[in-house]
Amino acid sequence: MFRSAKFPTLSALAVGMILPIAAYAVQGTTAHPSATPATKAALHHTATPVKAMNASKAHATHAKRPAPVDINTASKEELMALPGVTDEIAQKILDARPFKSRAELLSKKILTRAEYSKLRGRVIAKQEAKTSEAKPMESTPGSKAPEATPETK
């Protein structure tokens, strides 16, 4: 039988390329058991400077994002401060209240899909908590549950 020399060569090449990548990946994820917490923190920060920079950028952009506007309680001026909301659109939102979800801006045909995609992350539709006075059940020994009356045909 004829054995091709391409397979062993390609296998050796693949293993030679994968081993350094795997070693690098494992180096960043394993913890040294003999290291103190301070040393572990130092190792973590020196081993992953890119991750630390990305985390600080994420915190900076998250801090700049304004709080979402509640479309059920916002004033006309607050709605108009949103990108792409004109005087007419703000008035339509006010007239169509209350909203169960922000998606109703589409279903009630107040916004187009393009306008909604711009506002989707900036608006919310909070529901007012209904504080209905529920009568407490009386648990006196003499009180009984109402008896069911049989239906007559």
Its pTM surpasses 0.85: no
DSSP run (H or E) holding 124 = strand 123-124
pLDDT tens-digit series, residues 79-118: 999 999 999 999 999 999 999 999 999 999 999 999 999 9
Structural fold of domain 69-124: DNA polymerase; domain 1 (1.10.150)
DSSP run (H or E) holding 119 = helix 113-119
Maximum alpha-carbon separation in the chain: 98
pLDDT tens-digit series, residues 24-62: 777 765 555 555 555 555 555 554 555 555 555 555 555
Distance CA(82)–CA(117), nearest Å, equals 12
